[in-house]
Amino acid sequence: QVQLVESGGGLVQAGGSLRVSCTASGRTFSRKAMGWFRQASGKEREFVAAVSSTGGSTNYAHSVKGRFTISRDNAKNTVYLQMDSLKPEDTAVYYCAARRDDYLTGLEALYDYWGGGTQVTVSS
């Protein structure tokens, strides 16, 4: 069973930066595509970013392109989401997710494992 734990959430002012991390258990992390999703109050969970198993390919939601960067360190079983130029509308619980497959996807239904989330709050 794969377990994912997010960390690094917190309160930041608009225009600031924050990096959230997700550490995974298991010995096959390097074979799994990883994604970040978020859910704001009153809204459905939405795709944010994804990275392939090797880190060679990435995909981003249009709303975060140019501001967020997803990366991974397979030696540490960790995926990161660097968030720059944060906006109040970025406020949400951010979830880490993992696939059994190697390839990245923005489709929530194709992810098999989920972390418990970390709160990111952006004030104006």
Q: For residues 97-101, give the mean pLDDT.
A: 93
- pLDDT of 57 > 80? The answer is yes
**How many percent of the chain have pLDDT more than 90?**
90
Structure tokens at 65: 């392109």
Q: How many CB atoms lie within 10 A of CB 111?
A: 23
Mean pLDDT value of segment 21-43? 93
Task: Give the per-residue pLDDT at 28.
Answer: 85
- For the chain, percent of residues with pLDDT exceeding 70: 100
Distance CA 25, CA 49 (A): 21
Strand-pairing partners, residue 20, are 81
Average of per-residue pLDDT across 64-74: 97
Question: How far apart, in whole angstroms, are the C-alpha atoms of residue 88 and residue 67?
Answer: 13
